[in-house]
Every structure is written in C-alpha cells, then in structure tokens.
Structure 1
Amino acid sequence: MTNLTLPDIATQQQQHATPLDWVGMCGIAVPTVIEGRHVSAKFDVGVSLVDGSSRGIHMSRLYLSLQSLEHQPLTPTTIRQLLSDFMRSHEGLSSAAYVRISFEHLLKRAALVSPLTGWKSYAITVDARLENGMFHVELFVRVPYSSTCPCSAALARQLVQQQFTADFNGQQINHDDVLAWLGSSEGIVATPHSQRSHAEIHVRLNSSVQVLPLTELIDQVEISLGTAVQTAVKRADEQAFALANGQNLMFCEDAARRLHQTLRHLEWACAFKLRVEHAESLHAHDAVASSQWQW
C-alpha cells in the first residue's frame, strides 16, 4: 500500500483572517484525583486563536494532554502544567489557554449529636487561565443550608405569648403548669418558617497556593452559617438542628454578610463573589443577596 500524507484541513489558510477568543471542547470525561480520591470530572478546554489566517486549532492535542491528570493530584501546579502544554502545542496560534473542571465533591459528615455519619455531595467548578505568562485559578462551590426567617420567628413568639395570656389570664400558675403548657400543641400555636437555602461561592486563589482548598472552603462556609443540612440523623440530631436554626435566624442579607466576613479572612483568597438564595416557604418567589470583594 502506498504511504500517503493525510490531508490536514485545519492548517489551510483562511481567506478572511478573524482571530477567535476561545476554541476548544466541552464535557470531556476524565478521572481526576481530588484530595486523594479519584472522581469523575468533566473538562472544558480551549485556547485562543490569535492567528486568524489559520482555519482551526489542534483539538486532539488538547484532548491527549488531559491524560496527564489521570493519576496525579489536581493542584494549581498540575493545572498550570496542563495549560502550558496547551500553549506549547499551539505555539504561534494561541496566546491564552483555558480549562474548566466540574465534579461532585463527596464529604463524609458527622451528625450533630449521635455517632451517625453520611455523605454529602457538593458541586465544584475549578476555572483556570494562562495568558501572557499570567496564571490564575478560581474555585466555585454551591453549599446548601437551612435558613429560618427572623420576622417569622418574632411573629410566632407573639402568637405564643397571646395564647399564654388567653390560657392563663387571671389564674394562679406554677412552674409545672407552665412546663406542661410549653410542651403541648395547644400552647405552641405557631412556629417560624424555614427553608432550604444555598450559597454560591466563587473564590480566586492567591498565586502562592499549592493545593485546592476545597474542603476548607466548604467547612468555612458551613461554620459561618451554622445550619448546614444534615445526612443521617436520629431524633437527638433533629432536635440539635432545630436549636441551631433557632440560634441562627437569618434573612438572606444576614447570610450574605456572614459569608462576606468569613471569606475576607481566608488568607489564600485574593478575590471573591458570593450569592445566597433562600427558597421561600412563605412566598412563591425566592430571596437573594450577593456581595463581592476585589473582583
């Protein structure tokens, strides 16, 4: 069989030279090592096409470069190496390289009181860019939590007070009477409304960071809010969760301010933006607040 040179259509000269900001592929499945465990990740990868006379890039070169991440931890260093490989394989064609990595980060969480544990999944996105020698990495995480409305709590307390007055008006009462009333459904006539909520956190890492602080970021967010949703629970845990909600009454504005202060104290973060959304149980719409720093 005669050896033939296979045609490379992508290298053909374009009649109309137009540079492109981003050319690449989305949704590439790659097993990736995150904090010592393999996870199934999806990669969006690409480069700029500054040589407008070239018809296209070498997508297969980007794809093959991803194999280097199969058996080594995903860190800022390995991500930068990946983007450098993208640039080397497109020398003369591109001035910037990009990667977005999306996966579910599983963490085993202990119950509030009992010895039970369970797994929680957090949606993570890692964005990185290398352009003109400048490299930066950004983390995005979505953290669910519970929020109890302060206004609803105050209104419920008022109704309980009114019911107490109606039930005991003019009577001589003792400690046992009050205790029994507080434990009855007739006494606690109203309760505050709460809702499942979530925080979306987007953090840019300092250039000196050597690891992706995924678990630390999630932990700091949940500690700041105080009402992380639970996994396996017993009644004692459910009671402790009710106590946590009662001690952390939050409008969406309160949650956003808490998170802003927490993120400002992260030494490895040089910029951030956040958004909280409370999926209202009172209204058919949701309550939202956002904030950012040095973005």
Structure 2
Amino acid sequence: MNIASQLPDVAHDCASNIPIDRVGMSGVALPIELKVGGQTVACAATASIFANVQNDQKGLHMSRMYRTLLDLSSTPLTASTLEQCARTALAQQQEVHATELSLHVSTLVQLKRPALHSAGWGWNAYPVELALTYSDAQGMRLTQAMTVTYSSSCPASAALSRQALSSAFVDHAEAQSEPLSTAQVAQWLEQNGTLAIPHSQRSDAMITIDINSAELPVFEVIELSENALETAVQTYVKREDEQQFALRNGANPMFVEDASRRLMGALKSAQYSGHVSVTHRESLHGHDAVAHSSFTKGELV
C-alpha cells in the first residue's frame, strides 16, 4: 500500500480564487561547486526559490521544489544547470497553474591571493549572488553579482595634503640662511612628510552582470575588477607589502565616480553588460559616498 496516498493533502483544498505572486522557500542550505580560475571549488550556499500561484488551490508543492534544488549540489554550478533546475521546478507546479519561477543562490567564494611584494599569500572572500527568473514564455534571465573590496583615497584630500606640505616646506626653506642641500631636503621630508595625510577608507563595489553563456565568470570578473581598481584589500602583509599598498593608494586616488568609470570601462571592454554600485565608507564623514550606474558591452566610456 502507498502510505503517502492515504495521507491528507490540505494543499488541494480550495482556499480562495485570489492569485499570489510568489510562494516558496528562502534560506535553504545548499552545498554547491563552482568553477573558479580553472578549478572546481566547494562552497556553502543558501538558496531561495519561488513560483506564482494562479488557481484556487491552497498551496504549491514545496517538497518538490526542495528536491529539485538538491540537484544543484550534484554537479558544478553553471547557467545550464540553473536553467534546468528552474524549468523542472516550474513544471512540477502545474497544479497551481504556475507560469513564473525565481531562483536565488548566495555564497562566499574564497580565492588565494599573493602578497604585493613578499612571498606571502592569503585568502580573500568574495560574496557571490546568482539571481534567475524563468518562464516558459520568456525563457531565462540570469545575473551574477559579486562584491570586491578595495581601498579608496580621496583625491581632494590628497591635493589639500600636498598643498599643506608644500607650504610648510617653503616656509622652512625661506627661513634658512643658505639653500638646503639634497640631504637636508630628504631629512625634512622624512620628518614632515606626514604633516597632512589624505583620508582613505575601505570601499565596496558590487558588480552585477547579465549571464548569456553557459559558464559563470566568477574568477574573470573578480580579476577584471581588481586590476581596474588597483587597490584591492590585501591578505598577508609584511612591511614591504604595506609600503607597496601605500604606493598604490598614492597613485590611484579615487572618488566614487572614478571607481565606477574604471570598473565600467574594464567590464564593457570585456563584453559584459550590467550594473555597478560603489560605496566608499568615508572616514571624513559619518555617511557614505555612493554611485550607481548601468553599462552595456562595447559602449565607449
């Protein structure tokens, strides 16, 4: 005897003829694998999945949704496996006349990153979010969002600091009875070079791109973004690494507009389309500086 067939199923009871836009599950624990930099890495993820309910049945079949989500753990995650999961999950909800399904997967990818100058290395963590919508009529739309953390030094603060240092040096030099030698200038700079220090802060860029290929370019987008910004946060740091980081910050002062344009230029050149959100968590202010912008592949900046 099929025990399940003998159990009550109140989800089939008529509840109301009012449709519901999204019904499903969120916060589902889901181990996944991603192809990152030529390697397959295991990640702990959480997933959300929803479908619409259009008839007057009380509810949809969440156990079927859950079982279909589990299939994502059996093979490395790609756009193709996500689309197959969505198509299957939607087909399982025909009893509620579901026509649309959404799927969201959040994870944290850890990448081994070398030190800037020494032989050391460490791990940086990158939040990754995959958001999918699917319908039989419209097909799939998939986006990949990730966050890159970097340092931003304020260009205005840098200019003000240079001006303050220059004025102080002129006052010192004019107060001397004889011209300063190179050694004396170097000594003065060693003692007073930090008379004024430009403010800088840890900053975040969330890069969202449209996925139109089978593979998920997680590593590629991280590399593009960090190379464009040039001041990605570090892992293992010795003094020589910290000095290189200071030099990079000095060579790359950025407003949020500058960071946004750097990122969009690199991503557009690599034929990506999407959206960039940049946040500089100001050390000067009690509020953040923020920029949002959409971009299309191939456009000139």
Mark yes or no: TM-score above 0.5: yes
For residues 11-70 of structure 1, what are the alpha-carbon distances to aligned partners after superposition, in whole Å with 9 as ceiling and x for unaligned? 1123x31222211000000111112122111010121212x2111100000001122122
Match of 2:299 in 1: none
CA distance in 2, matches of 1:273, 1:119: 26
Tell me, yes or no, if structure 1 residue 59 matches structure 2 residue 62. Answer: yes
Match of 2:25 in 1: 25
Question: Following TM superposition, by how much is the alpha carbon of 1:179 offset from its aligned partner in structure 2, in angstroms?
Answer: 1.6
TM-score normalised by L of structure 2: 0.91
- The equivalences for 1:123-202 within 5 A come to 123-131=127-135, 132-169=137-174, 170=176, 171-184=178-191, 186-202=192-208
CA distance in 2, matches of 1:248, 1:122: 22
Segments of 5+ residues of structure 1 without an aligned counterpart are: none
**2:79–2:211 CA contact under 8 A, matched in 1:** no
**2:148–2:204 CA contact under 8 A, matched in 1:** yes
CA distance in 1, matches of 2:229, 2:193: 30
- Of the three residues 279, 291, 294, the one matched with 1:292 is 294
For residues 171-194 of structure 1, what are the alpha-carbon distances to aligned partners after superposition, in whole Å with 9 as ceiling and x for unaligned? 31121111222222x354112111
**1:164–1:187 CA contact under 8 A, matched in 2:** no
**2:52–2:101 CA contact under 8 A, matched in 1:** yes
- Of the three residues 230, 244, 256, the one matched with 1:252 is 256
Note closer, same or farther for the CA distance 1:235–1:129 as it changes in structure 2 (3 Å cut).
same
For residues 139-169 of structure 1, what are the alpha-carbon distances to aligned partners after superposition, in whole Å with 9 as ceiling and x for unaligned? 1111111000111111111111111112221
Letter of the structure 2 residue corresponding to residue 152 of structure 1: S
Question: Following TM superposition, by how much is the alpha carbon of 1:202 offset from its aligned partner in structure 2, in angstroms?
Answer: 1.4
Match of 1:79 in 2: 82
Question: Following TM superposition, by how much is the alpha carbon of 1:231 offset from its aligned partner in structure 2, in angstroms?
Answer: 0.4
State the aligned residue count: 288
Tell me, yes or no, if structure 1 residue 227 matches structure 2 residue 231. Answer: yes
Question: Following TM superposition, by how much is the alpha carbon of 1:91 offset from its aligned partner in structure 2, in angstroms?
Answer: 2.3
Question: Following TM superposition, by how much is the alpha carbon of 1:266 offset from its aligned partner in structure 2, in angstroms?
Answer: 2.7
- The equivalences for 1:255-294 within 5 A come to 255-267=259-271, 269=272, 271-293=273-295
**2:259–2:278 CA contact under 8 A, matched in 1:** yes
CA distance in 1, matches of 2:22, 2:295: 27
CA distance in 2, matches of 1:82, 1:187: 59
CA distance in 2, matches of 1:99, 1:138: 11
Letter of the structure 1 residue corresponding to residue 225 of structure 2: V
Greater shift after overlay, 224-233 or 174-183?
174-183
Letter of the structure 1 residue corresponding to residue 188 of structure 2: W
CA distance in 1, matches of 2:252, 2:2: 77
CA distance in 2, matches of 1:168, 1:6: 93
**1:163–1:187 CA contact under 8 A, matched in 2:** no
For residues 236-285 of structure 1, what are the alpha-carbon distances to aligned partners after superposition, in whole Å with 9 as ceiling and x for unaligned? 11011011101111111111111122222232x3x311111111111111
Greater shift after overlay, 89-98 or 134-143?
89-98
Letter of the structure 1 residue corresponding to residue 144 of structure 2: L
Greater shift after overlay, 167-176 or 137-146?
167-176
CA distance in 2, matches of 1:98, 1:122: 23
Letter of the structure 2 residue corresponding to residue 263 of structure 1: L
CA distance in 2, matches of 1:265, 1:24: 38
Letter of the structure 1 residue corresponding to residue 179 of structure 2: Q
TM-score normalised by L of structure 1: 0.93
Letter of the structure 2 residue corresponding to residue 284 of structure 1: G
For residues 107-145 of structure 1, what are the alpha-carbon distances to aligned partners after superposition, in whole Å with 9 as ceiling and x for unaligned? 110111111100011111101111124112101111111
CA distance in 1, matches of 2:241, 2:171: 34
% identity of equivalent residues: 38
Moved over 3 A (4+): 1-4
Q: Aligned-residue CA RMSD in angstroms?
A: 1.8
